[in-house]
Structure 1
Amino acid sequence: MPGSEPDLELINVRLPLEQDGGLFKLTVRGGIWSAVEAQQGPAEPDGHIPIGDAGLEELSDAPALDLQGKVALPGFVDAHMHLDKAYSIEHVRNQSGTLREAIEGYRSLAASFSKDTIKARIVKAALASVSFGSLTLRSHLDVPLHLGREVAMRTVEAALEAREEVGSFVDIQYFPMFYYDPAKDGEMTAFAEETLRMGIDGVGGAPHLTPDPEQNIGWAFKLAAGFGRLIDLHIDESDDPAVKTIDTYCDHIVRNGYSGKATAGHLCSLSAMEQPEADRLIAKMAEAGVGAVTLPAVNLYLQGRGDSGNVRRGVTRIKELAEAGVPLAAASDNIQDPFHPFGRGDMLQIGLITAYAAHLAKEEDIPKVLSMLTNTPAAIVGLTNYGIRPGFPAGFVVLDAASGESLLQELPAARWVYNKSRWIHASQIKRQWAKRS
């Protein structure tokens, strides 16, 4: 409210998405950014507590903070995760490292995972992501209806209960991976419609893994359009250049008026195609208005397992998609499960892997990489009023780095996270060194 005391005032802030190198003063009132002002050089602290000296309790009581030149970014948006599978690696290993074994291995044990187990994994992974600065997550869910309705539904119920539990920290969207089988049309359609009425956010799937991708995609669009929901499909997670489900997907996006409302994840086979065909499909994607998400960590792990010598790594054509105007985000995908034994939900780590995989290492590339973790996925998942702008909700992460480039150079461990009108995570970095004996 005009004239009232701010909830929070931050000085000496660096905003690499706005003007890397400059310092800013930021003000929050009522959980909303009320001012974002460029400083003329460093500001002297006037009762402002150095953020590095403050833990969560001190931050909660401090209306004025000195960021001492540290970077602030709007909360990361992790637009493609599998929270329900997270931390299942101790139960399901993947000896071949292939996508096929990961799928079959997890499905072989899916019925043994209780709702409480699945819920606990989602909560743990979501809160870990928050601690690294992610404030919006989109998770695909495994719903193996072929194992019975109860097995499929327990994941949906666990996910909705977990979202309620962590809702004061992070926002989560859910997109079940519906596997359409024409022989069980009625059963799958009834199940999918029930989940959407329960609060599931959109329609997911992996049509390239189904017997009839065209039919699967058509069914998915009919379902999504009928409920007015977004659609987000795993597309062409394959080394085979002949796998071109994206071609059909784009046709359906145009036919159903879903430009800006449909997302394609992975797009691995695009990287294996000859240049002219890849160019054609990328241009078609740009014209159709599909959003894309690259999952570099997981695709580097899973793809090319049948190759020797010059091993295909599966990461999609990141530079070419971006240059063609296709909105392209990077995301975590899997965390410590048979699809990816590593990972921790740290989007900055994903940004570094993206930079390596796509040769995005020039100084002018850094804002592009950071945008793939923030602004672009925010648009893809449908966020409005996102960013550090007056009038927008204040959800942000402070990182112990002095520039956008140093974020990827240092991968700073220290993070301070603010969301929903309060500090929700804090690191303390009082550095102490042992005395030399």
Structure 2
Amino acid sequence: MDFVIRNARLPSAPEDPPVDIGIQGGKIAAIEASLPVDVPFHDAEENLVCAGLIETHIHLDKSRIIDRCEPEPGRNPNVVPRVAAVKSTFTEVDVYRRASQTLEGCLKYGTTRMRTHVELDAGVELRSFEALEKLRKDYAWAIDIELCVFPQEGLTNNPRADELLVETLKRGVRVIGAAPNYDPDHGGQIRRIFQLAREYDADIDMHLDSGNSADDMDIWLVCELAREYGMGGRVTVGHGCKYSTMPPADLARLAATLADAGVAVTVLPATDLFMMARDQDHSVRRGVADANTLVELGVNCSISSNNILNPFTPLGDGNLIRIANMQANVCQVSHSRRLRECFAMLTDRSARLMNLKDYGIAVGNPADVVVFDATTPEQAVAEVRAPLVAFKRGIRTVTRPRAELHAP
């Protein structure tokens, strides 16, 4: 044994007695009470220990550009044109610099796995992709990053985006996304993405159904194609703001369809709160899908950050626990078991969504271990508790001391 994390409470059963986690060769070698080994150790002091948080949906490539975009024009955020107008300023060096700042924030708040979405089109070509490929390799000491390529500004009307998607898939990318809201042919884009996913054996993670009513939802076609292509468990949709506008019976029917098709949902509360209901100037609807209710109806869900410091979300710091707390506040989640489920939507459920077979505190898995300043998952979410220390493959990557009061 090389190292031991002692006195750890596990998220699956924090009420049980603490255990020790033995690490050897970068992997978890043992989980039991009071491991009888004399090796270097970290005392978790009976705090909550997980395998790290998972950011399933973030845009590192366009984070931290709010200062170079035109100000928001009134109630119409006009976000895609505002971002498109500055893409010509993106260089590999620029994207890497901004993305690394955002990534380091995520690391400091306990994230150890990530799926970042990468825009491909004639405005940016492969500059963002190349920067994030380099970032992925350079930060492998602290985090596993997966790239999801997608066309933000349209596909059926944007042949260059199609060419770039194919090129990156040929280079080994194994997740492809979509943004049909910004395509004149929603169904055409969705069908093309499924065709490419089948051809290159890629998972799918789409931006879907942002809007202020349940009219004209694309999710029905996505579920139909997921069944037709046999891709259950490999398809995710992000946002789903329209689902928040559905009466309970209609939402239950949608959830049954999602569960049957094996389509997961990622809710992005920070962006959806900021972007939705711009048609209202009072009694503003929230536009955030109720992830807890979807989970209770059989749908796998994650909660994630999406954008940070850009026109889609001009706020944020990479703290996923804060995002889960926001989700709980917006959807009026208070029961302990439901708060615990919010934590699962940053951890175990996110791992399932991304088909991660080696995630979790289990013998044989990578020794990715994060100690939170909390004793239960629900406390971590309710009180926005920070991590105290993080390890990646058994090597310490983050130390965040507790704040201290100095009384006179």
TM-score, with structure 2 as normaliser: 0.93
Q: For the structure 1 residues 241 and 409, does the alpha-carbon distance in structure 2 shift closer, same or farther, using more than 3 Å as the test?
A: closer
Match of 2:21, SS state, is: strand
The answer to whether 1:7 aligns with 2:10 is no
Cα distance, 1:413 vs. partner? 3.9
Cα distance, 1:100 vs. partner? 5.0
Q: For the structure 1 residues 93 and 413, does the alpha-carbon distance in structure 2 shift closer, same or farther, using more than 3 Å as the test?
A: farther
The partner residue of 1:140 within 112, 117, 120 is 117
Cα distance, 1:300 vs. partner? 1.0
Distance 1:211 1:163 in 2: 33
Q: Kindly report which structure 2 residues correspond to 1:43-58, keeping only aligned pairs within 5 A, or say none.
A: none
Q: Which amino acid aligns with 2:97?
A: A
Q: For the structure 1 residues 282 and 110, does the alpha-carbon distance in structure 2 shift closer, same or farther, using more than 3 Å as the test?
A: same
The answer to whether 1:260 aligns with 2:260 is no
Match of 1:167, SS state, is: coil
Q: CA RMSD in A?
A: 2.2
The answer to whether 1:318 aligns with 2:291 is yes
Q: Kindly report which structure 2 residues correspond to 1:25-424, keeping only aligned pairs within 5 A, or say none.
A: 25-38=20-33, 63-92=40-69, 94-96=71-73, 100-145=77-122, 147=123, 151-178=124-151, 179-182=153-156, 184-185=158-159, 187-424=160-397
Q: Where do 4+ consecutive residues of structure 1 move more than 6 Å? A: none
Distance 1:328 1:290 in 2: 9
**Could you tell me whether the CA contact under 8 Å between 2:203 and 2:234 is conserved in 1?**
yes
Q: For the structure 1 residues 97 and 335, does the alpha-carbon distance in structure 2 shift closer, same or farther, using more than 3 Å as the test?
A: farther
Match of 1:321, SS state, is: helix
The answer to whether 1:425 aligns with 2:402 is no
Cα distance, 1:432 vs. partner? 5.9
Cα distance, 1:36 vs. partner? 1.6
Q: For the structure 1 residues 13 and 286, does the alpha-carbon distance in structure 2 shift closer, same or farther, using more than 3 Å as the test?
A: same
**Could you tell me whether the CA contact under 8 Å between 1:20 and 1:404 is conserved in 2?**
no
Q: Which amino acid aligns with 1:104?
A: P
Cα distance, 1:260 vs. partner? 0.4
Distance 1:427 1:108 in 2: 38
**Could you tell me whether the CA contact under 8 Å between 2:380 and 2:386 is conserved in 1?**
no
Q: For the structure 1 residues 100 and 431, does the alpha-carbon distance in structure 2 shift closer, same or farther, using more than 3 Å as the test?
A: closer
Q: Which amino acid aligns with 2:67?
A: E
Q: Which amino acid aligns with 1:134?
A: T
Q: Which amino acid aligns with 1:284?
A: T
**Greater CA deviation, 78-87 or 15-24?**
15-24
1:116-174, Cα deviation, whole Å (9 max, x unpaired): 111111222122211111011111112232x3xxx321111111122122122111111
Could you tell me which residue of structure 2 aligns to residue 53 of structure 1?
none
**Could you tell me whether the CA contact under 8 Å between 1:8 and 1:64 is conserved in 2?**
yes
Match of 2:116, SS state, is: strand
- Kindly indicate which of the two structures has a greater share of residues assigned to helix: 1
**Could you tell me whether the CA contact under 8 Å between 1:348 and 1:411 is conserved in 2?**
yes
**Could you tell me whether the CA contact under 8 Å between 1:250 and 1:285 is conserved in 2?**
yes
Match of 1:234, SS state, is: strand
Distance 2:139 2:118 in 1: 17
Distance 2:74 2:371 in 1: 36
TM-score, with structure 1 as normaliser: 0.87
Q: For the structure 1 residues 309 and 372, does the alpha-carbon distance in structure 2 shift closer, same or farther, using more than 3 Å as the test?
A: same
Distance 2:74 2:384 in 1: 27
Cα distance, 1:93 vs. partner? 5.0
Q: For the structure 1 residues 295 and 111, does the alpha-carbon distance in structure 2 shift closer, same or farther, using more than 3 Å as the test?
A: same
Q: Which runs of 5+ in 1 are unaligned?
A: 1-5, 48-61
Rg larger for = 1
**Could you tell me whether the CA contact under 8 Å between 1:126 and 1:170 is conserved in 2?**
no
Q: For the structure 1 residues 394 and 414, does the alpha-carbon distance in structure 2 shift closer, same or farther, using more than 3 Å as the test?
A: closer
Match of 2:148, SS state, is: strand
Match of 1:168, SS state, is: coil
Q: For the structure 1 residues 264 and 184, does the alpha-carbon distance in structure 2 shift closer, same or farther, using more than 3 Å as the test?
A: closer
**Could you tell me whether the CA contact under 8 Å between 2:76 and 2:278 is conserved in 1?**
no
Match of 1:17, SS state, is: coil
Distance 1:94 1:387 in 2: 43
1:64-107, Cα deviation, whole Å (9 max, x unpaired): 22222222111111100001111111112552576851211111
**Could you tell me whether the CA contact under 8 Å between 1:266 and 1:295 is conserved in 2?**
yes
- Percent of paired sites with the same residue: 27
**Could you tell me whether the CA contact under 8 Å between 1:97 and 1:305 is conserved in 2?**
no
Could you tell me which residue of structure 2 aligns to residue 58 of structure 1?
none
Could you tell me which residue of structure 1 aligns to residue 14 of structure 2?
19
Match of 1:205, SS state, is: coil
Distance 1:305 1:18 in 2: 42
Q: Which amino acid aligns with 2:26?
A: G
Q: Which amino acid aligns with 2:350?
A: P
